[in-house]
Amino acid sequence: MENRQIKTKLMGREEVFKALALGEVLQLPVLLLGEPGVGKTQALLDYAASKYNYDREQVRENTFIIELDEGTKTSEIKGRVNMKQLLENKEYKVDAPIADSEFIMINEVDKGNSAIRNTMLSVMREKALFYGKEVKKCKWKVFTGSCNQITGSESDNPFWDRFVLTSTVDRVGVDIILKTFKGTVNIIDISFPSVEDISNTSLNNSMFNKFVKAIYDTISDRTASYLPKMIKAIKLVYNLEDLEATMKCCELIAPSRVSIVSSKLESTRENSVRTQIDNLKGVFDGGDFTYTRVYLKSLCSDLSEMVSIKTYVNKVKELEESLKETINDLDYGYDNQSLKEEFERLVESAVQQTGQFAVVSDKSSTSLDIGNEEVEYEEV
């Protein structure tokens, strides 16, 4: 299995890089959803740079980035006839930078007209551009599109089904923004499994069958055909067990079904704690910090009780990490950093009371300053 280090000044974007890695491993297009300025394009550039040992010239030669609008012409995607070759050498040649690029980013992809979309479909699906009888093969390793969100009737457009993987890029909290001013570069380790690695990875068939039944009516048959290989690849790229990999797969292809899938695959107790973690941001954003403290204390208490049950030990580690990430991502503002520290102490205290495990840290990323027993699943 290949390992690659991605150096980036972006904070809190490891999930984006892993989604891009998954797209590369599976050769599936990735859609990044998020507000302007959250680092979607920069994430692709940093990702591409890691492939070329941060040689800017190679990155520039092998990356195609375009921002669509209502006036974008098909030729800007499909390419233009090389008039010099045609006039001087009588040779018909089309210059199409998108075909020769290994990393592609189509910004504001929702703004493309029908002709633009049809051209992109051939690039995404057949990895080729068609000029009558002539076919020009595309070399992309990572194909990404980006936009703010998909709304209204657009959500039913079959065009979006070609973006099999969808990752939402949210704004980071102000405390993370403050860290960017220190000139710190994050080094993120990403695993790239081979076809053989994926083939040799096991799949929990019972869990897989429940998962497919839960999301079947929200995905196309095309997407469904990728699922076995996708979950195996997620296990390796994200370093997850079957349950967590299945939930991550649901998040990437059918986010509206996460709670349903969770209720079918997880035990009642685990699902309850996960739901509380998911709701913590909403409680915090309500502005009642006294109630948020009470809510978090109750959540930590439930987490502590779970670890005393042998079959939950590994699950609690994953839930604890999720809780810490949620707390870290809350927008405390300039005046409430002490509140963040208080919340972190609450979680730390709950963990230490169990005496079972230490603080979970993110081993896949570091910073460089430059400037299991399984839970028994219920049948449904």
Q: Where are the domains of the chain?
A: 2-188, 193-255, 266-369
Which pLDDT value is given to residue 237? 96
Which pLDDT value is given to residue 136? 87
Which pLDDT value is given to residue 343? 87
Which pLDDT value is given to residue 288? 87
Structure tokens at 317: 């580690």
Which pLDDT value is given to residue 171? 83
Q: HEC states along the chain?
A: CEEEEEEECCCCCHHHHHHHHHHHHHCCCEEEECCCCCCHHHHHHHHHHHHCCCCHHHHHHCEEEEECCCCCCCHHHHCEECHHHHHHHCCCCEECHHHHCCEEEEECHHHCCHHHHHHHHHHHHCCEEEECCEEEECCCCEEEEEECCCCHHHHHCHHHHHCCEEEECCCCCHHHHHHHCCCEEEEEEEEECCHHHHHCCCCCHHHHHHHHHHHHHHCCHHHHHHHHHHHHHHHHHCCCCHHHHHHHHHHHHCHHHHHHHHHHHCCHHHHHHHHHHHHHHHHHHCCCHHHHHHHHHHHHHHHHHHHCCHHHHHHHHHHHHHHHHHHHHCCCCCCCHHHHHHHHHHHHHHHHHHCCCCCCCCCCEEEEECCCCCCCCCCC
Which pLDDT value is given to residue 348? 80
Which pLDDT value is given to residue 287? 84
pLDDT in tens, the chain (380 residues): 889 999 998 888 999 999 999 999 999 999 999 999 899 999 999 999 999 999 999 999 999 999 999 889 888 888 776 666 667 677 667 788 899 999 999 999 999 888 899 889 999 999 998 887 888 899 999 999 999 988 766 666 788 889 999 999 988 777 777 777 777 788 999 999 999 999 999 999 999 999 999 999 999 999 999 999 999 999 999 998 888 899 999 999 998 888 888 888 877 778 788 888 989 988 888 888 889 989 988 888 888 877 666 656 667 777 888 888 888 888 887 677 788 888 888 888 766 654 443 333 343 443 333 333 333 333 33
Which pLDDT value is given to residue 167? 94
Which pLDDT value is given to residue 369? 39
Which pLDDT value is given to residue 35? 92
What is the fold of 2-188? Rossmann fold (3.40.50)
Cα–Cα distance, 168 to 331 (Å, whole number) = 17
Cα–Cα distance, 107 to 145 (Å, whole number) = 6
Which pLDDT value is given to residue 215? 94
